[in-house]
């Protein structure tokens, strides 16, 4: 059993006893591998207080000094990618190479945050009125909280804290209780990079910790990523309490395959984007809207590829796909195979019989699965499954595919596969989704663009990272200033009129 994972408060591991703890599992074996402390009111208060006390000093730390620390953090995360990836794989289940990929994508946000001096430049207008100048400055908010999901225990927190901290805020991270270790490793790397104590804190916990942060008067803003029902809850509670909030929710990502598409590329993409990380990605492809005339051929090509997929423990180099995160989640995902068939779909590929490398039977396994002839009323289409299940919806053509996607309540990601530039251009224009791929199945924006969906995939106005991240973690102040020439008093005297420019 690995050690107990606790909080990181004021630059050190928390030493006090825990009133509540949860088990942490190794999804590949199904066995408990450790425990995690669950914060109560005292720990919540200590974490926020530590961030609040660190704020004035950090806010006033020069941009050059902040950037030096960010660069050191960047190099340390890079050097420790292997350790982080192993810790993620052991608790999440994803294969180690995929976990290293998420660390890499998180690092891209650190790269972006290293350019913060440029991003925090305000505007300046000379002589807006005679002898008067106007300018704007971007200032940090104070203590900000990040509440993150299990599926990217390093990357999603790194969408948030590098930008928040670079902008001069202090941060309290509440990671998922299912895979808490990566957050502590990141905290240690921040300390090694020279970040002052209290600027980055980690509060392990569940709903109690989340609610404590939402209610805390010293938390100025909340960034959330997770499922839609919780995102909606976070958005309304945080806003009610006067906090700035962005809450990214769940997804049902469609891939459209038009008859002129490269079907091998489409099949490769469906398998990679549907089954990578066992489908536990918010940008995973879940539904394939394929035009009837090429549907049989596409399903046949997907099947060929799925038969060759190696499912096994995340730390086995041969594995391409690992287990699901918990037994309950695996059972729920598998239940869609039965309900799909009951509601009229065809189970073309049954992942329950896919072989598992090493023969471990107690892990939370479910192989890649495909339901064909799915229709929009079925539960397997309506719900976010968040597992290795592709649903094929056969459509008559482009218009029906677009209507299907635009009628869906989620709007996170989508992709169109076609060789017709005009169709692709029309698709990018009229599709009601926040992130669009053209012959690219997982269109996760680079760090210097912003990540976020539409409709019930995002509550709030700001997407994550990129310039929207900088806007979220700062507020602007507009200054109007008059400095008179030495020895020269401005003309005028008292004037009760509303100031106008002259």
Please list the active-site residues.
Answer: 282
Cα(165)–Cα(167) distance, integer angstroms: 5
Question: If DSSP codes are grouped into helix, strand and coil, which group holds residue 202?
Answer: strand
DSSP string of 50-71, one letter each residue: HHHHHHHHHHTS-HHHHHHHHH
Cα(188)–Cα(166) distance, integer angstroms: 18
For the CB of residue 457, give the shortest distance to ligand NAD in the complex, in Å. Answer: 5
For the CB of residue 200, give the shortest distance to ligand NAD in the complex, in Å. Answer: 17
Interface with ligand NAD (CB under 6 A): 147-152, 156, 174, 176-177, 206-207, 210, 225-227, 230, 248-251, 282, 384, 386, 412, 453, 457
Chain CA centroid to CA 489, Å? 56
Is the Cβ of residue 386 or residue 398 nearer to ligand NAD in the bound state? 386
CB 36 within 8 A of CB 22: yes
Question: If DSSP codes are grouped into helix, strand and coil, which group holds residue 372?
Answer: strand
For the CB of residue 85, give the shortest distance to ligand NAD in the complex, in Å. Answer: 18
For the CB of residue 137, give the shortest distance to ligand NAD in the complex, in Å. Answer: 30
For the CB of residue 60, give the shortest distance to ligand NAD in the complex, in Å. Answer: 31
For the CB of residue 444, give the shortest distance to ligand NAD in the complex, in Å. Answer: 9
Cα(134)–Cα(485) distance, integer angstroms: 17
Give the closest residue to 435 by CA, choosing from 461, 453, 456: 453
Sign of the CA dihedral running 22, 17, 152, 99: negative
List Cβ neighbours of 254 (8 Å cut-off, separation of 6 or more). Answer: 285, 286, 287, 288, 289, 401, 404, 405, 408, 414, 415
For the CB of residue 264, give the shortest distance to ligand NAD in the complex, in Å. Answer: 28
Give the closest residue to 427 by CA, choosing from 294, 295, 258, 288: 258
* 356 DSSP 8-state letter: B
Chain CA centroid to CA 481, Å? 41
Is the Cβ of residue 152 or residue 473 nearer to ligand NAD in the bound state? 152
Find the residue with minimal CB distance to ligand NAD. Answer: 226
CA dihedral of residues 40, 41, 43, 48 (deg, nearest 10):
140
CB 93 within 8 A of CB 200: no
Is the Cβ of residue 120 or residue 380 nearer to ligand NAD in the bound state? 380
Give me the residues paired with residue 172 across strands.
145, 201
Sign of the CA dihedral running 399, 401, 404, 410: negative
Tokens at 460, concatenated = 């709030």
């Amino acid at each position: 059993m690995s050690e107990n994972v606790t909080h990181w408060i004021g630059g050190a591991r928390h030493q006090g006893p825990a009133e509540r703890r949860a088990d942490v599992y190794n999804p590949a074996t199904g066995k408990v591998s450790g425990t995690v402390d669950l914060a109560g009111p005292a720990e919540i208060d200590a974490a926020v207080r530590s961030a609040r006390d660190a704020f004035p000093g950090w806010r006033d730390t020069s941009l050059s000094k902040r950037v030096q620390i960010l660069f050191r953090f960047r190099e340390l995360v890079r050097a420790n990618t292997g350790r982080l990836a192993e810790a993620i794989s052991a608790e999440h289940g994803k294969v180690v190479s995929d976990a290293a990929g998420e660390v890499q994508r998180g690092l891209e946000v650190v790269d972006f945050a290293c350019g913060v001096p440029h991003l925090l430049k305000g505007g300046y207008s000379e002589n807006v009125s005679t002898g008067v100048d106007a300018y704007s400055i971007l200032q940090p908010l104070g203590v900000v909280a990040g509440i993150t999901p299990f599926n990217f225990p390093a990357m999603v927190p790194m969408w948030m804290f590098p930008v928040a901290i670079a902008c001069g805020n202090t941060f309290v991270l509440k990671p998922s209780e299912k895979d808490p270790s990566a957050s502590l490793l990141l905290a240690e790397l921040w300390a090694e990079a020279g970040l002052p104590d209290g600027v980055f804190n980690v509060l392990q916990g569940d709903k109690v910790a989340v609610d404590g942060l939402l209610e805390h008067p010293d938390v100025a803003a909340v960034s959330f990523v997770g499922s839609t029902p919780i995102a909606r809850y976070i958005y309304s509670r945080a806003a009610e309490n006067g906090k700035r909030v962005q809450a990214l929710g769940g997804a049902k990502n469609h891939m459209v395959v038009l008859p002129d598409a490269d079907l091998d590329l489409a099949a490769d993409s469906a398998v990679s984007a549907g089954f990578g990380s066992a489908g536990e990605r918010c940008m995973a492809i879940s539904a394939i809207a394929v035009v009837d005339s090429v549907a049989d051929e596409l399903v046949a090509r997907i099947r060929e590829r799925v038969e060759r997929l190696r499912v096994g423990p995340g730390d086995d180099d041969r594995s391409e796909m690992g287990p699901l995160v918990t037994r309950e989640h695996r059972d729920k995902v598998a239940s869609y195979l039965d309900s799909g068939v009951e509601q009229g779909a065809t189970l073309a590929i049954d992942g329950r019989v896919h072989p598992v490398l090493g023969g471990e039977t107690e892990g939370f396994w479910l192989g890649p699965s495909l339901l064909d002839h799915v229709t929009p009323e079925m539960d397997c289409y309506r719900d976010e499954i968040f597992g290795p299940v592709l649903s094929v919806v056969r459509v008559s053509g482009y218009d029906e595919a677009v209507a299907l996607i635009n009628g869906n309540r989620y709007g996170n990601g989508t992709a169109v596969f076609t060789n017709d530039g005009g169709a692709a251009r029309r698709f990018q224009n009229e599709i009601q989704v926040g992130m669009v791929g053209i012959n690219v199945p997982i269109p996760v924006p680079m760090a210097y663009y912003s990540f976020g969906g539409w409709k019930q995939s995002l509550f709030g106005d700001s997407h994550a990272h990129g310039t929207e991240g900088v806007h979220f973690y700062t507020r602007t102040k507009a200054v109007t200033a008059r400095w008179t020439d030495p020895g020269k008093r401005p003309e005028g005297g008292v004037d009760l009129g509303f100031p106008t420019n002259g």
